[in-house]
Amino acid sequence: MRRIYEKPGQTVSRNVRVFAVLIILTLLMSAGSAFAQTQETLQKVVQEAYEKFKDVKEGRTADYIPELAKVPADLFGVVIVTAKGEVYTAGDVDYVFSIQSVSKPFTAALVMQEQGDKAILEKIGVEPTGLKFNSILATQIIPQVSVNPLVNSGAIASVSMVQAKSADERFNKILSFFDDLSGAKLSVIEDVYKSEAATNQRNRAHGYILAASDRIYSEPMEAVDVYTKQCSIGVTAKQLAVMGATLANGGVSPLTGKRVIDSKYVPKVLAIMMMAGFYNESGQWAYTAGLPAKTGVGGGIVAVVPGRMSIVGFSPRVNDAGNSVRSMKAIEYISGQLNLNLFGPGK
Ligand code: DON
């Protein structure tokens, strides 16, 4: 009855409203199911990567730092943390291991925060070496700089650039920056620190070479010591993945919402990771996984998919380049399955 009295325009507008509501409902439902599907896909791929490589025994725990040889070699964990803070895990993701060289890009980020990205470019450099992480030759090959912040010499130089009046203040600044990145309260694994401090003659040599050519910016042995402590900071695979997800999220922690790194520095950090994150295997890594990532002799690797997620593998057996074998395989697998390769067409 009522319709007889409605003007034609009113009927049209009511139909439009009903139609709009239906469209919105359909969109919401499909977005919801796509979200659920993505969550399912991410958990599935993490679990698959874990199952597929858990029995791989290649490589061995690093023993040039005696304490690292004591870490149970069979530990294995895989984690994805998305830029929105969703967490997907499989295996030993809560075991605390030493961050080692995975710390290096984050300290470079701290130096950028304090002094700008040019300071890294001009005082350290950003060229890959094609040589091992502790190569003395690499430190001598480009005399003006310490080559890049991801090899030992450049990482020691990075530490020396963190602005502080004392070694303690410098280390505490680094630690609290890592706390912000991980959204956790981290601390040094004292046994690892003591073990490396007693055996780090080679890093001390780097410190003196840098000092001899004015490429270190605090007292050299003090810088080596703070660097050694930084490498001994304990993290879990989950915490490391939050650090990576902070990079994936443009410098804002997806866990706490705090901006930790200026967005303009994030691409600089990722560029260095892409070019030098795996030392003499960086080319191979770019070729197979196509993601910026950083490795450590503690067995951790963090890879970053800008805007989307971080992927972490933790497995203490490392190869000759000092890169964790199962972590590499797991991240390569996930990158392949989800079409994450930055040089690929994407999905
Ligand atoms: O300076 C070192 O030799 C160790 N603290 C870190 C080396 C490392 O993690 C190499 N990366 N895979």
Would you say residue 19 has pLDDT above 90? no
Which pLDDT score is estimated for 10? 56
Look at residue 2 and tell me whether its pLDDT is greater than 60. Answer: no
275-316 tens-digit pLDDT: 999 999 999 999 999 999 999 999 999 999 999 999 999 999
- Cα 149 to ligand 1 centroid, rounded to whole Å: 12
Ligand 1 pocket test target in 101, 192, 210, 327 with most atoms within 8 Å of CB = 101
Interval between CA 297 and ligand 1 midpoint (Å):
5
Asked if pLDDT for residue 183 goes beyond 60, the answer is yes
Give residue 140's pLDDT band: very low, low, confident or very high (50, 70, 90). Answer: confident
Query: What was the pLDDT predicted at 345?
Result: 86
Average pLDDT over residues 92-119: 98
Lowest mean pLDDT among 28-42, 252-266, 274-288: 28-42
Q: Which residues line ligand 1 (CB under 6 A)?
A: 100-101, 133-134, 152, 196, 203, 231, 295-297, 322-323
CA distance 210 to 197: 19
The pLDDT score that the predictor gives to residue 1 is 36
pLDDT at 18: 59
Compute the distance from residue 104 Cα to the ligand 1 centre, in Å: 9
pLDDT tier at 24, thresholds 50, 70, 90: low
Spatial distance between the Cα atoms of 266 and 248, rounded to a whole number of angstroms: 8
- Give me the helices (H) in the chain, please: 2-5, 8-53, 104-115, 117-123, 136-141, 152-161, 167-182, 190-197, 201-212, 220-231, 237-248, 266-276, 282-288, 325-337
Neighbours of 57 (CB within 10 A): 10
Q: Using CA atoms, how far apart are residues 140 and 209, in angstroms rounded to an integer?
A: 8
Confidence of residue 227 (pLDDT cuts 50, 70, 90): very high
**Among the listed residues 335, 323, 332, the one whose alpha carbon sits nearest the alpha carbon of residue 295:** 323
d(CA 120, CA 171): 19
Instruction: Give the length of the chain.
Output: 347
Closest ligand 1 atom to 102 CA: 9
Residue with tokens 């469209």: 23
> Highest-confidence range of 5-9, 20-24, 58-62, by mean pLDDT?
58-62
Which is the closest atom of ligand 1 to the Cα of 322?
A: 12
Predicted pLDDT at 6: 46
Between 89-93, 169-173, 213-217, the lowest mean confidence (pLDDT) is in 213-217
The answer, yes or no, to whether residue 40 has pLDDT greater than 50, is yes
C-alpha 81 – ligand 1 centre gap (Å): 24
Q: Is the pLDDT score of 13 beyond 70? A: no
Tokens of 246: 């902070």
Mean pLDDT along residues 43-47: 98
Atom of ligand 1 nearest to the CA of 100: 9
What does the alpha-carbon distance between residue 254 and residue 84 come to, in Å, rounded to a whole number?
Answer: 6
Distance 8 CA to ligand 1 centre (A): 76
Do 126 and 148 meet the contact criterion of CB atoms below 8 Å apart? yes
Q: Report the pLDDT averaged over residues 217-241.
A: 98
Tokens 């325009």 map to which residue?
9
Sign of the C-alpha dihedral computed for residues 10, 16, 22 and 25 taken in this order:
negative
95 Cα to the center of ligand 1, angstroms? 19
Give me the percent of the chain exceeding a pLDDT of 70: 88
Check whether 15 has a pLDDT greater than 80.
no
Share of the chain above pLDDT 90, in %: 84
pLDDT tens for 149-168 read: 999 999 999 999 999 999 99
Structure tokens of 327? 């972590």
What are phi and psi for residue 79, nearest 5 degrees? -140, 140
